[in-house]
Amino acid sequence: MATTALLVLDLVGTFAFALNGALTALRATRLDIVGVVTLGMITALGGGTIRDVFLDSLPPATFLDWRYLAVAAGGGLIAFFSGRHLERLNGPINVLDAAGLSLFAVTGALKAVDLGFGPAQAVIVGVLTGVGGGTIRDVLIRQVPSVLSSGLYAVPALVGATVVVVADVLGARGAVAAIGAAAVCFAIRMVGVHFDVNAPFPPGSRPPEDP
């Protein structure tokens, strides 16, 4: 039953990432239907694929499960056909995307722990699971990945993954720790979106005036 809940949450996160990823790509460059759906799927499934390369857990889990493939393709198709109308739904989509980031960071880190990797490795893999798909998408549409240059995106994933890994080291394993860690990640991400917070820039560099 907990497994079913986790699966549903994971599929919701996958859908949110695909929708948001395809909309971001649509806004940034000119793409046909192949491009929009592909970039939605890459945003949704790319992080998990990188995770499974690093954990030597190939073939990638989401590649083997048709539900992930179908949900990701569906998100991309919806973005393709109704991209203009979805622009108004920016708020809800940001919330879904933050939920996806939180779930992917936590479940990615937990998968590493389950497979016997150390704490540092688990945290790194959690972050890569959360931010990897969007990074590949940004490279393909010729943008400097936003995770490297603006906003709080990697930081909440880092905190969320660290919380769940530290909890595991301290013996607190299970749904409560996972949900708590995801909630922390989600909260930091939403605060960052709302107040437009950035990670620190190098000493002496100018403040981020130009978007």
Q: Which residues bind its own copies (CB under 8 A)?
A: 26, 29-36, 38-39, 53-56, 58-60, 63-64, 66, 69, 80-81, 83-84, 117-118, 120-121, 124, 135, 139-145, 147-150, 154-155, 198-205, 208
Could you say which DSSP state residue 90 is in?
A: H
Enter the DSSP assignment of 59.
S
How far is residue 160's CA from residue 126's CA, in Å, rounded to a whole number? 8
CB of 181 to its own copies, least distance (A): 19
Positive/negative CA dihedral, 113, 114, 117, 122: negative
Angle at Cα 137 formed by Cα 29 and Cα 16, nearest 5°? Answer: 100
Q: Work out how close the CB of 154 gets to its own copies at its nearest, in angstroms, rounded to a whole number.
A: 5
The angle at the Cα of 47, spanning 109 to 93, to the nearest 5 degrees, equals 100
- The tokens for 67 are 């539900």
Distance from C-alpha of 28 to C-alpha of 20, rounded to nearest angstrom: 12
Nearer to its own copies by Cβ, of 35 and 75: the residue is 35
Closest distance of CB 80 from its own copies, Å: 6
Which is closer to its own copies, CB of 82 or CB of 90? 82
Q: Which residue lies nearer to its own copies by CB, 73 or 167?
A: 73
Q: Pick between residue 38 and residue 162 the one whose CB is nearest to its own copies.
A: 38
Cβ burial of 64 (10 Å; 0-12, 13-18, 19+) is exposed
Q: How many CB atoms lie within 10 A of CB 20?
A: 26
Q: Residue 47 or 177: which CB sits closer to its own copies?
A: 47
Q: CB of 95: closest distance to its own copies in angstroms?
A: 22
Minimum CB distance to its own copies, residue 148 (Å): 3
